[in-house]
């Protein structure tokens, strides 16, 4: 599984996602500009020592990232989408795209994807959004669950 963060802004969120990726075997792709450096102490603190176990790459643009990955299917998460992430039958090779914490994915990025690839996480009415690292964890674990928790050790 590939997790793409489009212009992430908050270092601890990215550190938490880095740690998540290390634990579930996902690759993390960061699309610039970043709101921090990868050496940022808050990002490294949240990621603890998982930076050495994570597969993290940075790209100058979303187009460069997608050209390099060429995922069979790309799903974008947005509060403006209609389809619930739990309705999807995820497959090996799927990629998940999440937007920046303060503004989400730009409309032009969402519009470039078919409606069935634009997903949302259900929430109570009137709420804005979940924390980015929580949103990534919810959807990534669903993808991993659907793969039978491939690669999980005994007792997991």
Binding-site members for S-adenosyl-L-methionine are 77, 99, 121, 129
Rounded Cα gap, residues 28 and 58, in angstroms = 9
For residue 76, what are the contacts with CB-CB under 8 A and spacing of at least 6?
97, 98, 99, 105, 109, 110, 113, 117, 118, 119
Rounded Cα gap, residues 77 and 94, in angstroms = 13
- Residues at the annotated binding site? 77, 99, 121, 129
């Amino acid at each position: 599984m590939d997790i793409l963060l489009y212009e992430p802004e908050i270092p601890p969120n990215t550190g938490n996602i880095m740690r998540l990726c290390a634990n579930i075997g996902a690759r993390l792709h960061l699309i610039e500009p970043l709101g921090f450096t990868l050496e940022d102490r808050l990002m490294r603190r949240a990621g603890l020592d998982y930076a050495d176990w994570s597969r993290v790459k940075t790209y100058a643009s979303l187009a460069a990232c997608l050209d390099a990955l060429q995922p069979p299917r790309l799903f974008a998460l947005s509060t403006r989408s209609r389809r619930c992430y739990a309705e999807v039958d995820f497959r090996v090779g799927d990629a998940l795209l999440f937007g920046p914490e303060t503004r989400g994915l730009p409309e032009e990025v969402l519009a470039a994807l078919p409606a069935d690839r634009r997903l949302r996480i259900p929430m109570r009415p009137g709420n804005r959004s979940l924390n980015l690292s929580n949103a990534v964890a919810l959807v990534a674990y669903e993808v991993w669950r659907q793969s039978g928790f491939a690669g999980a050790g005994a007792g997991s």
